[in-house]
Structure 1
């Protein structure tokens, strides 16, 4: 990070920053370039996409590279302006009366003072009056706090919001004023090879090392690991296209499937992918890892477990049978 540019926008070497941040991500080259360009230009941005699509990972990498904090806020009906701006400590007010010293910074004021990113997840679940408070901070780069004064944002302060376009239960429609102050980027699931690489990395297999915390019964590089990762990614991706599923699982489901299946295979003494008991190990791990991550269509007359069984049967029974000679 270097000297400030015009209009309070920091001057950064985006080429060097991109290279260093990209080393912390799997894929996402285009999205990284667009997000980095927007925040380097001093813009606030909303990221639209399902969970588990590397939005948080990307922001953590950028803020770590810039040496600034990333403050998380969950948007919901309880996110009042006081919760996001801050409050006066009641005990100190009783002793000392109201003053700037008795004020406890909320995440917005903390991010403004430190020049950090305020990352608001489920942005469209926040109340309208809270969004109006954010509008002032985004438009003027400062807010007036009663009995404290005007808080002016440091040059690197940004508001980054995220929304899930599929899950609209309990959400509110954002006003034109909000949309007008935010850049927007849609981030979808990564492709199969990228998710395969992510699962190997998170399962501790990227460098041929055992999975984290798995001692003795863990997953080690080899045929079983390779097959588990391949099957986990394929099964997880299939949840996103099933007719009864409104929103499928992110790659986090595939990661957990692999990590659960590894000790389960050890417990059942399944030595490799050619063991006839291997498919059932994957099925049981699939139910544990993904049944809470898929969201069914409201009209679907089924259960997550049944949907996952169908996906498992299609992968392990129907497709191999169709491909068999004769």
Structure 2
């Protein structure tokens, strides 16, 4: 593919596969169609990868995925000469093994660099020529010129500052940026329902409860970072298996659901401990545990909120 297809048609087709990301879809499509590289900034589980993969699939453009970390060297990103062939034949273009950056440039694909700000400075600096001039010169191998559809799409988590690198202005000046936040409650309920295959009344109740407690982790004062929608998906999946093990079938009864001593609320609490305790991150100053925080959130949902809603 040598050029980007019709953007309006792409938007309409891709939107059918996404939940609640129409605005972000339009902005990303407009940026890449304009020939711009872009960084998507937001917490994990906000659909950044899903959005990008849907666009690439619709356009038939290859997607090259790279995880940014301290081990991502320039050679891993750009490529390297085959050591065995170098010893046998010396350096040449034929024994050069291209990395994901060069492959994306040669095939006109999207290079998706996740956790962009975790990559070392010298690795990020190797991107400058690709971003500015759409070409990279490799010693002893020659020059690679990018196809017109090549784009760098990076992502980063603004809430995580452990092991991250401060991006230089020479990098950020060459990138567009889009903030991608969590979706609203209705959209997350739709996502969880879709991903867990729920349809019965029990499923609808469980999905609503799982999404509520999961979203509550993002506003709890003792947490630096809460859980993405993946946490709610796992709460539902684990809770359903627990329900089968314990023979819990009365969860569809709204009266039973609001009784904290009944089987259903206890089942949700246990599922939360398994699905969410490893996903939430305590504030450094908080003197508590993930389990205590989850217990507080559970009490808010199944004890305090119902009690406040009672007449009198």
User: Aligning the two structures, in what range does the TM-score lie when normalised by the shorter sequence?
Assistant: over 0.9
Residue 96 of structure 1 and its aligned partner are, at CA, apart by 2.1
Match of 2:51 in 1: 58
2:93 to 95, 100, 105: 100
> Which 4+ stretches in 1 moved above 4 angstroms?
none
The alignment partner of 2:94 has SS state of helix
Aligned mates of 2:103, 2:278 — CA distance in 1: 34
1:279 to 261, 265, 268: 265
5+ unaligned residues in a row in structure 2: which ranges?
Answer: 257-261
Match of 1:249 in 2: 227
The alignment partner of 1:200 has SS state of helix
Residue 11 of structure 1 and its aligned partner are, at CA, apart by 4.2
Match of 1:157 in 2: 150
The alignment partner of 1:260 has SS state of helix
Distance 1:133 1:264, change over 3 A: same
Instruction: Work out whether residues 4 and 59 of structure 2, in 8 Å CA contact, stay in contact via their aligned partners in 1.
Output: no
Q: Does 2:199 align with 1:192?
A: no
Match of 1:168 in 2: 161
Residue 71 of structure 1 and its aligned partner are, at CA, apart by 1.1
Aligned mates of 1:81, 1:20 — CA distance in 2: 37
Aligned mates of 2:57, 2:237 — CA distance in 1: 28
Residue 272 of structure 1 and its aligned partner are, at CA, apart by 3.1
Instruction: Compare 70-79 and 291-300 and name the one that shifted more.
Output: 70-79
Match of 2:259 in 1: none
Residue 170 of structure 1 and its aligned partner are, at CA, apart by 1.4
Residue 101 of structure 1 and its aligned partner are, at CA, apart by 1.5
Aligned mates of 1:139, 1:45 — CA distance in 2: 13
Aligned mates of 1:11, 1:39 — CA distance in 2: 8
CA deviations 1:231-288 (Å, max 9, x no partner) are 0000000000000000100000000110111011010000032352000100101111
Match of 2:276 in 1: 290
Instruction: Work out whether residues 223 and 272 of structure 1, in 8 Å CA contact, stay in contact via their aligned partners in 2.
Output: no
Residue 12 of structure 1 and its aligned partner are, at CA, apart by 2.4
CA deviations 1:161-208 (Å, max 9, x no partner) are 111111111112111111110000000000000000000110023xxx
Matches within 5 A, 1:82-97: 82-97=75-90
The alignment partner of 1:101 has SS state of coil
Instruction: Work out whether residues 4 and 149 of structure 2, in 8 Å CA contact, stay in contact via their aligned partners in 1.
Output: no
Match of 1:267 in 2: 245
- TM-score under structure 1 normalisation? 0.91
Q: Does 2:74 align with 1:81?
A: yes
Aligned mates of 2:290, 2:172 — CA distance in 1: 36
Residue 222 of structure 1 and its aligned partner are, at CA, apart by 1.4
How many residues were matched structurally?
304
Residue 59 of structure 1 and its aligned partner are, at CA, apart by 0.4
- TM-score under structure 2 normalisation? 0.95
Residue 79 of structure 1 and its aligned partner are, at CA, apart by 1.1
The alignment partner of 1:199 has SS state of helix
